[in-house]
Amino acid sequence: MENIDPFISPELHEAVRRFGFNKVAAQMYGVDEISEKTAAEIVGTKLMTRLAEWRQVDSGLKALAALKKG
Count the domains in the chain: 2
**Residue 23 shares a structural domain with residue 48:** no
**Residue 5 shares a structural domain with residue 24:** yes
Quick check: 6 pLDDT over 90? Answer: no
Q: pLDDT-based confidence at 9, cuts 50/70/90?
A: confident
Structural domain of 69? 35-70
**Residue 14 shares a structural domain with residue 43:** no
Q: Check residue 53 and give its pLDDT.
A: 97
**Residue 68 shares a structural domain with residue 39:** yes
Give the predicted TM-score (pTM) of the model: 0.58
Give the whole-angstrom CA distance, residue 15 versus residue 38.
Answer: 20
Q: Give the residue-averaged pLDDT of 56-68.
A: 96
Which of 47, 12, 43 has the alpha carbon at shortest distance from 27? 12
Give the whole-angstrom CA distance, residue 65 versus residue 70.
Answer: 9
Give the whole-angstrom CA distance, residue 52 versus residue 14.
Answer: 35
Q: Give the residue-averaged pLDDT of 18-37.
A: 87
**Dihedral over alpha carbons 8, 32, 23, 27 (to 10 degrees):** 30
Quick check: 35 pLDDT over 90? Answer: no
Quick check: 1 pLDDT over 60? Answer: no
